[in-house]
C-alpha cells in the first residue's frame, strides 16, 4: 500500500540547524485517496534567530508567532496524525515524503525532530522524496518547458493550478500535490 506524505514547512530562515519551523502542513494520501490533512503552527525554539526576510516572505509577525503552540504540543499532534496511518515500528510501512523542493523541508523536519528530542523521523518516512522540481528541470532540459523561474507560484500559474495563499504551508502543499499528480503521476483532478 503506497502512502504519500505531502508536506511543507514555513520557517524563520534558510538554515535548518539555526532557524526553526513555524508552520507544518500536510496531506496524507493512501493509494491515491486523501485520508487526512493537517496544519500546525508552532513557536520557534529561538526568537533570536528569526530572519526578517523570512517573516516578510511568509507574511508572519513575531507577535503572531508568539500565539502559536509550543513545539512539544505540535510534535505530539504531528505524531498522532502520522500514527493513524503508519506503523512506525514496521520497516515496510513508511510514507513517501513529497513536496516542492522537498529536500529543504526534509532537512528542516529532521532538525525539528531532533530539537524536540526525537532522532527517528525515519521511523515514519522512507527518505525517497517525491519532488516535482526535478521533473520540471528535466522538462526544461529537454526543451519541453521554459519558465522565467521555477518557483512554486510561477510553475502553478503555468500549469493552471490555483495557489491563493503562497507561502502558507497548507496552500503550498495543496498546490504541490496537484502539481505532482498532474506532471508526475498523470492524474486528472
| pLDDT one digit per residue (tens) for the chain, 189 residues | 799 999 999 999 999 999 999 999 999 999 999 999 999 999 999 999 999 999 999 999 999 999 999 999 999 999 999 999 999 999 999 999 999 999 999 999 999 999 999 999 999 999 999 999 999 999 999 999 999 999 999 999 999 999 888 889 999 999 999 999 999 877 655
Domain for residue 111, yes or no?
yes
Q: Are 176 and 99 in contact (CB under 8 A)?
A: yes
Residue 145 lies in a domain: no
Residue 93 lies in a domain: yes
Question: Structurally, how many domains does the chain consist of?
Answer: 1
Cβ within 8 Å of residue 102, ≥6 positions away: 129, 130, 131
CATH code of residue 114 = 3.30.420.10
Domain of 82, in residue numbers? 3-131
Which pLDDT does position 188 carry in this prediction?
58
The answer to whether residue 175 is domain-embedded is no
Amino acid at each position: 500500500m503506497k502512502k504519500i506524505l505531502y508536506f511543507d514547512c514555513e520557517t524563520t530562515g534558510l538554515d535548518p540547524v539555526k532557524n526553526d519551523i513555524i508552520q507544518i502542513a500536510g496531506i496524507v494520501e493512501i493509494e491515491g485517496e486523501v485520508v487526512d490533512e493537517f496544519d500546525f503552527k508552532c513557536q520557534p525554539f529561538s526568537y533570536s534567530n528569526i530572519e526578517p526576510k523570512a517573516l516578510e516572505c511568509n507574511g508572519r509577525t513575531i507577535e503572531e508567532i508568539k500565539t502559536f503552540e509550543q513545539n512539544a504540543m505540535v510534535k505530539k499532534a504531528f505524531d498522532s496524525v502520522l500514527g493513524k496511518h503508519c506503523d512506525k515500528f514496521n520497516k515496510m510501512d513508511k510514507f513517501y515524503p513529497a513536496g516542492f523542493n522537498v529536500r529543504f523541508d526534509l532537512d528542516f523536519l529532521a532538525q525539528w525532530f531532533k530539537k524536540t528530542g526525537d532522532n527517528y523521523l525515519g521511523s515514519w518516512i522512507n527518505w525517497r522524496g517525491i519532488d516535482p522540481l526535478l521533473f520540471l528541470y528535466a522538462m526544461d532540459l529537454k526543451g519541453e518547458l521554459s519558465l522565467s523561474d521555477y518557483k512554486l507560484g510561477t510553475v502553478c500559474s503555468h500549469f493552471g493550478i490555483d495557489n491563493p495563499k503562497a507561502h502558507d504551508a497548507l496552500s503550498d502543499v495543496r498546490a504541490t500535490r496537484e502539481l505532482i499528480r498532474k506532471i508526475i503521476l498523470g492524474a486528472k483532478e
